[in-house]
Amino acid sequence: MGKKNIISGALVCSLLLLANLLSSGAAAESVDISADEAYQMLQEKPEEIILLDVRTEMEYKSEHIPGAINIPLAILESRVDELDKSKIIIVYCQAGGRSLRAKELLLQHGFEQVHAIVGGLNAWKQKYPTTMETPIPTQTPIGAIQAPPFTLTSIDGSRFSFGDYRGKVVVLTLVSTWCNLCNDEMKELTKLRQAYPELTIVTVAVDPTDTDETLRSFKERYHADWLFARDTDNVFSKYTTYPAVIPTIVIITPQGEISFRKPGFVPLEELKSAVESASPGGGAPTPTETPEAKPVIPGFEAMTAVLVVSVLVVCRWIVRRKRY
């Protein structure tokens, strides 16, 4: 009888423990939501929601969803106690990559209702307003703006400064390894490098969460042979204007002036044109010349062989007919 009671008690405890685990697991809600769903939730119960922007401070200042607070992903874990666990957390970034990492981190810290906006701010602003800071106007033509100095350490450990490339055209690319457009831009830069082997290209990872290891893998993925470094000297804030966007391409003349600056994806032909015009005095690198291929008719050689064989067969047939 005693054994039966012990077994029954153990079984009941096990079932209670299992029920507790299932209920706690079901309590944590982490469904990703669309921009439309996020907007509707914010309209219906704004007092129950914390809208969390996990992008960098620079990105947040340039443009964000109204009412959002900013805690960059790189420091979110150290500031997680600032958030109220009893509230619904809607988290977003620029395109959706960082918000997923932030959501997982918050769930690990006991937050029970966490939602990430699919597509991030890019998806939100297709239909809904954002808060933007007014840009400071400049009367100086962009070609006359002196490129701000910087000093960085490459992922290979070498220290370099902007002044090291005085007298050369420099293509400065500001990226993040998780950014889809940045990955697309890398393909264009690889082609640009093939066209201009002597061109100086510097790629700077501006997201604090990018490490030397992730940046090294990013470089190897595209077989890039130019300088890569993390942004340890505020290059992003020095070289981007309103709004701050990644990727951003900046081309600097041999005289140290910014001649081209464009946020977003820049196709190869536009890159080539900007490089060529960076130094009208002849300081631009010389593109490699590929020998002009002669036009070839598809299957021409095979067609010729068939024609020759056909002629020989006909000639042989004529000769044999004459004999008979």
Structure tokens at 27: 């309590």
**DSSP for residue 234:** -
pTM above 0.75, yes or no: no
Q: Give residue-wise pLDDT tens across range 241-275.
A: 645 678 899 999 998 888 888 888 899 999 999 99
Going by pLDDT thresholds of 50, 70 and 90, the confidence category of residue 321 is low
For 165, list phi and psi in degrees, rounded to 5. Answer: -110, 20
pLDDT value of position 287: 55
At 51, is the secondary structure helix, strand, or coil?
A: strand
Residue with tokens 């002036």: 257
Structure tokens at 50: 């914390």
CA 185 from chain centre, in angstroms, equals 9
Given 93, 179, 182, 315, the catalytic residue: 93
What is the set of domains in the chain, with CATH numbers?
23-132 (3.40.250.10), 142-277 (3.40.30.10)
**For 31-40, 55-64, 178-187, which range has the lowest pLDDT when averaged over its residues?**
55-64
Give the residue from 65, 61, 56 showing the smallest Cα distance to 102.
Answer: 56
pLDDT value of position 244: 64
What is the pLDDT of the chain when averaged over all its residues?
A: 79
**DSSP for residue 94:** S
* Omega before residue 137 within 30° of 0, cis: no
Give the residue from 50, 29, 109 showing the smallest Cα distance to 76.
Answer: 109
Active site includes 315?
no
**DSSP for residue 92:** E
Q: Give residue-wise pLDDT tens across range 284-301.
A: 455 554 444 444 444 444
Taken as a whole, the chain contains a residue count of 324
